[in-house]
Structure 1
């Protein structure tokens, strides 16, 4: 049996990287509670593996073929903490910013809860202010 840390590692490397979003159902339960930890407006979204695959496709549309580096992965029981750096190119609209061709770096972290060998819930934090600052700088430089 695969442990929670291995499940999350493979999810990040295969699905979240954009390499194989169609494999989301191999790592995610049928319905996953996705806690978007945004300080100004936290929200919980329920996602199916198909919806998550579509979400990854949206990232590919905005950032092109991005790279995702897993910077840290820590596990205890059914919880896995992951921190990553994603680097892509601004090739599609992001928020109200038209494509600039600039390199955009995202720093993010999440805690995943694994149940019965599948991700059942996660809490994600993304440095949205850092992304906005990069988008503003790129837009000003056009």
Structure 2
């Protein structure tokens, strides 16, 4: 389990900006039932910084991610996230001219 303070979460978002620039994030699906919320989103950015050992290519990168959040007293207290890392890795291995 990963626990993050608000400051650590802010730093994590900055890492994403450093890697993918000013990306767009589109919520594709949002479902709530009881204390659980499911969200699926598409994030599109440019490979402007190193990611997992891949030097920047400038290529557009699309990531599809989903998460289940557990809500308590109006706050997220736990979450489980699923990221298509294989899909991202495949995109990072290609330069702009290869896409």
Q: TM-score, structure 2 length as denominator?
A: 0.94
2:40 corresponds to which of 83, 87, 92: 83
- Residue 65 of structure 1 contacts residue 88 of structure 1 at CA under 8 Å; is this kept in 2? yes
Q: Which has the bigger relative contact order, CA under 8 A and spacing at least 6?
A: 1
Q: Deviation above 4 Å: which 4+ runs of structure 1?
A: none
| Bigger proportion of residues as helix | 1
Give the C-alpha shift of residue 83 in structure 1.
Answer: 0.1
- Residue 97 of structure 1 contacts residue 139 of structure 1 at CA under 8 Å; is this kept in 2? no
Q: TM-score, structure 1 length as denominator?
A: 0.66
**Counterpart of 2:8?**
51
Between the aligned partners of 2:77 and 2:95, the Cα distance in structure 1 is: 37
| 1:45 aligned counterpart, secondary structure | coil
Q: Which runs of 5+ in 1 are unaligned?
A: 1-43
